[in-house]
């Protein structure tokens, strides 16, 4: 398939990984619509009823910053391991979203690299935790 279609698929998966609702929660208050009910619906885990920041918009933005930072770190790690920029971007989207899509039929095995596989495993494990927990750990510097 062309790279444009592959990128589109990876980007949709990445956006869904954090949740379109969380993105909407960041935007809805500017339109005068409350977002806390939507936030509680989308966020998994025991921290959904506690506010991470005083305003829900700030919480949604903080979670997206963490998500984007992890994606960028994953992309850089993949590039250092030998992937092209397009493959690194595409696979970082898939890795952080824990979706599993690849730009190749053989998936991550296409690269035949233990280093790339270990990067994938490490970032998938990090991404498997709630991003609310990442936020609390970052805020507490723990």
> Can you tell me the distance from the alpha carbon of 99 to that of 64, in angstroms, rounded to the nearest whole number?
17
Longest dimension (CA), the chain: 51
What local confidence, expressed as pLDDT, does residue 86 receive? 96
Higher pLDDT, 63 or 19: 63
Is 39 in contact with 60 (CB distance < 8 Å)? yes
Q: What is the pLDDT of residues 71-99, one digit of tens each?
A: 999 999 999 999 999 999 999 999 998 88
Phi, psi of 51 (to 5 degrees): -85, 135
What domain count does the chain have? 1
For 35, the domain range is 3-140
> Can you tell me the distance from the alpha carbon of 79 to that of 63, in angstroms, rounded to the nearest whole number?
24
pTM equals: 0.75
Which residues fall within 8 angstroms of residue 90, CB to CB, at 6 or more apart? 6, 7, 10, 102, 103
Q: What is the pLDDT of residues 33-44, one digit of tens each?
A: 555 555 555 555
């Amino acid at each position: 398939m062309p790279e444009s279609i592959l990128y589109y698929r990876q980007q949709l998966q990445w956006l869904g990984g954090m949740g379109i609702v969380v993105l909407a929660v960041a935007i809805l208050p500017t339109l005068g619509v409350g977002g806390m009910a939507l936030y509680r619906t989308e966020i998994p885990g025991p921290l959904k009823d506690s506010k991470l920041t005083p305003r829900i918009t700030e919480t949604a933005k903080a979670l997206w910053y963490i998500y984007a930072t992890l994606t960028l770190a994953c992309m850089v790690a993949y590039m250092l391991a030998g992937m092209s920029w397009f493959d690194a971007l595409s696979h970082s989207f898939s890795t952080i979203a824990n979706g599993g899509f690849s730009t190749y039929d053989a998936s991550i095995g296409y690269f035949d690299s233990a280093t790339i596989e270990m990067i994938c495993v490490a970032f998938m494990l990090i991404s498997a935790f709630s991003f609310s927990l990442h936020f609390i750990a970052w805020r507490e510097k723990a």
